[in-house]
Amino acid sequence: MVFKNAIRRQANGAGRGCAGFPRALLRRGRCLRVAEDRSRGAAGGEEGSALIETAASLPVLFVLIFCFMELCMAFYSYDMISESAREGTRYAMMLSSTCTNSSGASCTATATQVNSYVSGLGWANLAGGTMTVSTTYKTPAGGVGTNIVSDYVVVQITYVFPITMPFVPKNSITLKSASQMPIIQ
């Protein structure tokens, strides 16, 4: 009987040992996790660090994006006025004082007509600035010319580009472009 009880105890102990081993590991893991949580809480943790980093970096990112957009708008506006000046000189160089249409009537373009042509080209003024057009005629020697063949037509455009960035004082930049071509007919 004593022998049977000893075998039964060994079997029960061995059984408990095998079944208890995974249970002990789980219990040990729970204990380790609790200890890790306690140490994280004491050290400050990293739960809110991503939120703080995002909150600190987003304003810088937005400032860079708005600056880039304003710079692109300024480049677009300069391209708009330089293309408008070239179109104005092309228009004026073809319509000199010797220009007549098929019915024999004069089709001469005056400086005022060139200015209104350039102002009405229809380029999108995305920045909302103001454009001033000035057309003059020069002789090849550099003096004041008239609208005749071999003189030069000069179209100058001044554009006031408003700076519209948030939290920046309302300022403006003056952009200038000019185009010069000889009158050919």
pLDDT of 69: 92
8 A C-beta contact, residue 179 and residue 87: no
Could you please report the per-residue DSSP string of 111-177? Answer: HHHHHHHHHTS----TT--EEEEEEEEE-TTSSB--SSTT-EEEEEEEEEEEE--TTS--EEEEEEE
Global confidence as pTM: 0.66
Q: Which helix (H) or strand (E) holds 181?
A: strand 171-182
8 A C-beta contact, residue 136 and residue 112: no
Q: What is the pLDDT averaged over residues 50-65?
A: 92
Beta carbons within 8 Å of 132's beta carbon, 6+ residues apart: 157, 158, 159
pLDDT of 104: 72
Which phi and psi angles does 12 have, rounded to 5°? -65, -40
Q: How far apart are CA 32 and CA 145, in angstroms?
A: 94
Q: 100 by DSSP, 3-state: which?
A: strand
Q: How far apart are CA 33 and CA 31, in angstroms?
A: 5
Which pLDDT tens digit goes with each residue over 100-154? Answer: 777 777 777 788 888 999 988 888 888 889 999 999 988 888 777 777 788 889 9
The percent of residues in the chain predicted with pLDDT above 70, rounded, is 76
Q: Which residues on adjacent β-strands are paired with residue 134?
A: 156
Q: How far apart are CA 160 and CA 64, in angstroms?
A: 23
Q: Which residue has the higher pLDDT, 38 or 132?
A: 132
Cα–Cα nearest to 137, from 170, 88, 77, 80: 88
pLDDT of 25: 52
pLDDT of 155: 94
pLDDT of 1: 59
pLDDT of 58: 94
8 A C-beta contact, residue 151 and residue 137: yes
